[in-house]
Amino acid sequence: MFLVLIVEDDAGIRGVLATLLTSQEYRVVAAESAARGVIEARNHRPDLVIVDLGLPDCDGLSVIGEIRRHSPVPILVLSARTAETDKIAALDAGADDYVSKPFSTPELMARVRAALRRKARGGERLPLLRFAEVHVDLEARTAQGPGGPLHLTPLEFRVLDCLERHAGMIVTQAQLLREAWGPERAGDSRGLRSYIKTLRQKLEPDPRQPRYLITEPGVGYRLLVEEDWRPS
């Protein structure tokens, strides 16, 4: 059973999260402050940390930073702060994902499952990416659709590489640009949007309503694998 640490000062939300997680057979440890959260993270070595940013003793960003000093555990931020700058700051501090309050229970649990799958995979790569009827082999650098082979450019494969390493999690624009293009293109968000649009045209069943290459407005992108995607 996976162990999830909840760092949340609101007792009601802590209770709701604990009930949701235990109903899915996760074990739960809870902390009501930043200081206690860091202690529990060290003592229990959780498989996932869910942390609020608005904690009574200090900002949740400090919790993320302290945990990252000694652990690569997946960290999911659950916060009422919805500004793009807050999301980017949390991801830059070391968080893996960000869910805004009030939250959707199915969405939150999907993010929990994605984070734990990534942890369980460790450094292993997904052998094949599936976009409905399109299959992409990142190792062989090939793509196959219902009509035959698809041509993806080396840069498009690098973008998919980066997204696959963080499958189910948010990847910021800055990180994608740095890893796929290099530091000299760090500010080219327009170019990145263009490549994502082209990838959707090649891979998505309906590029206008993407299922797999998801935009996180103002922040970055998220690759959903088949088990993450659910029709709305």
Domain CATH number, residue 153: 1.10.10.10
Q: What is the pLDDT of residue 5?
A: 98
Answer yes or no: do 152 and 104 share one domain. Answer: no
Give the per-residue pLDDT at 102: 92
36-41: long-range pairs with CB below 8 Å, 24+: 36/7, 37/5, 37/7, 37/63, 38/63, 38/66, 38/67, 40/5, 40/7, 41/5, 41/66, 41/67, 41/71, 41/73
Q: How many domains does the chain have?
A: 2
What CATH number is attached to the domain comprising 66? 3.40.50.2300
The reply to whether 23 and 82 lie within a common domain is yes
Tell which wins on pLDDT, 211 or 125: 211
Average pLDDT over residues 15-24: 96
Considering the domain architecture, whether residues 27 and 66 belong to the same structural domain is answered as: yes
pLDDT classification of 185: cutoffs 50, 70, 90: low
Residue with tokens 């940390």: 49
| Whether residue 68 sits in one domain with residue 85 | yes
115 and 138, same domain (yes or no):
no
Average pLDDT over residues 17-37: 97
The mean pLDDT of 15-22, rounded to a whole number, is: 97
Q: How far is the C-alpha of 170 from the C-alpha of 173, rounded, in Å?
A: 9
**Residue 228: inside a domain:** no
pLDDT of residue 186: 65
Domain co-membership, 17 together with 77: yes
The conformation of residue 80, written as its DSSP 8-state character, comes to S
Both 80 and 164 in a single domain? Answer: no
Host domain of residue 155:
129-223
Q: What is residue 14's DSSP assignment? A: H
> Whole-angstrom Cα distance, residue 127 to residue 66?
34
**Closest by alpha carbon to 118, among 28, 30, 48?**
48
* Phi, psi for residue 146 in degrees, rounded to 5: -65, -25
Q: Please provide the average confidence, as pLDDT, over all residues in the chain.
A: 91
User: What confidence tier does 230 reach under pLDDT thresholds 50, 70, 90?
Assistant: very low
pLDDT digits (tens, 9 = 90+) for 56-84: 999 999 999 999 999 999 999 999 999 99
Instruction: Label residue 229 by pLDDT band (50, 70, 90).
Output: very low
134 and 115, same domain (yes or no)? no
Residue 165: inside a domain: yes
